[in-house]
Amino acid sequence: MIRQHGTFLIASHVRPDGDAIGSELALYGVLKGMGKAVHVYNRDETPDNYQFLPGSDFIGHDFGDPENYDVVFVLDCSDPERLGEKGAVIARMPGIINIDHHVSNQRFCEVAYIDREASSTGELLYRLFREMGVAITGDVANNLYAALMTDTGGFRYRNTKSETLHAAGYLVEKGADPQWLAENIYENSPPSKVRLLSKALDTLNFSLDGKVADIVVSLACLAAAGAKPDQTEGLVDIPRTIRGVRVSIFYLELEQDYYKLSMRSQGTINVEQVAGYFGGGGHMNAAACKIRGDLESIRQQVVNRLRAAL
């Protein structure tokens, strides 16, 4: 499909993370290098700590007439609904290719490359580019490395396989700069994000004999810190660093009595099943969902589901 067509749309999920953005920009670079016409669409703005990635200026927030595109790549996304309000429009477009690694992906289109064991969508694109024999430029290498690094938690999570590290090494050979990428992604926080972290830590709560810990960011907390919702990325990982904690939960208030839950777990504790119970999904050790209700009742429902998982 890549060889046969000339006009491409690339899209990924709402609140894009490092894997989504790195994968989009890497694919953009390869397709442009092949002489294709390419447009990248995301509903939401690119988070501050990814705006330095090569090509990020080419990400738009509209894509015009759907008939302008021969092929649509939906990356790092298990369901068109996760694309946002334009998801239904994109789902009706011909020539959809889905590349994804989420356990919850039920293959919503005919042409798909899905590997639930892969570390990241970036790793799947790395395999595709190697199979195609296309040149991997320094910019493409940096974007793919960013995708691999962020979705493996800096190569710390259980989804870091030998193939992942081989891919990272190859990308360094092709020009990826690990120090530059790590400094800009992990060590470049604006003051508002640090203020938000301080306020979030004040909400630290333990349950199930200290095996579960959670933190909460409310709308009032965001406003008081002068922070944006995308600056909450990474907060879910903090409670998991506490000794004895097996599951970490981050509650983000989207509107009154409506929360997004991000969950991280250790070992074989399957939080994807917990998220799936509430209509979400993800991976065994990293999953998310959205729930309506007051915070305490939501917390109790989630803890009850986690009790069985633990």
Using alpha carbons, select from 117, 116, 114, 67 the residue that is nearest to residue 92. 67
Q: Is the pLDDT of residue 103 over 90?
A: no
The domain 191-309 is placed in CATH, from the list 1.10.10.60, 3.10.310.30, 3.40.50.720, 3.10.20.740, at 3.10.310.30
pLDDT per residue over 242-294, tens digit each? 999 999 999 999 999 999 999 999 988 999 999 999 999 988 999 999 999 99
- CATH number of the domain located at residue range(s) 7-186 in this protein: 3.90.1640.10
The domain locations on the chain are: 7-186, 191-309
Say yes or no to pLDDT of 158 above 90.
no
**If you write DSSP's letter for every residue of the chain in order, what string do you get?**
-TTT--EEEEEE-SS--HHHHHHHHHHHHHHHHTT-EEEEE-SSPPPGGGTTSTTGGGEES----GGG-SEEEEES-SSGGGG-TTHHHHHTSSSEEEEE--TT----SSEEEE-TTSS-HHHHHHHHHHHHT----HHHHHHHHHHHHHHTTTTTSTT--HHHHHHHHHHHHTT--HHHHHHHHHS---HHHHHHHHHHHTT-EEETTTTEEEEEE-HHHHHHHT--GGGGTTGGGTGGGSTT--EEEEEEEEETTEEEEEEEE-TT--HHHHHHHTT-EE-SSEEEEEEES-HHHHHHHHHHHHHHH-
Query: How far are the Cα atoms of 65, 74, 268, 283 from residue 273, in angstroms, in the given order?
Result: 38, 24, 12, 9
**pLDDT above 90 (res 104):** no
Percent pLDDT > 90 in the chain is 93
Average pLDDT over residues 210-239: 94
Residue-level pLDDT at 78: 92
pLDDT for 210: 96
How do residues 51-65 score in pLDDT, each as one tens digit? 999 999 999 999 999
Kindly indicate the confidence band of residue 29, based on its pLDDT and cuts at 50, 70 and 90.
Answer: very high
Give the global pTM. Answer: 0.89
Strands across the sheet containing 96-100? 59-60, 37-41, 7-12, 71-75, 96-100, 111-114
* CA-only gyration radius of the chain, Å: 19
What local confidence, expressed as pLDDT, does residue 82 receive?
93
Residues 6+ apart with CB under 8 A from 304: none
Is residue 106's pLDDT more than 90? no
- Average model confidence (pLDDT) across the chain: 95
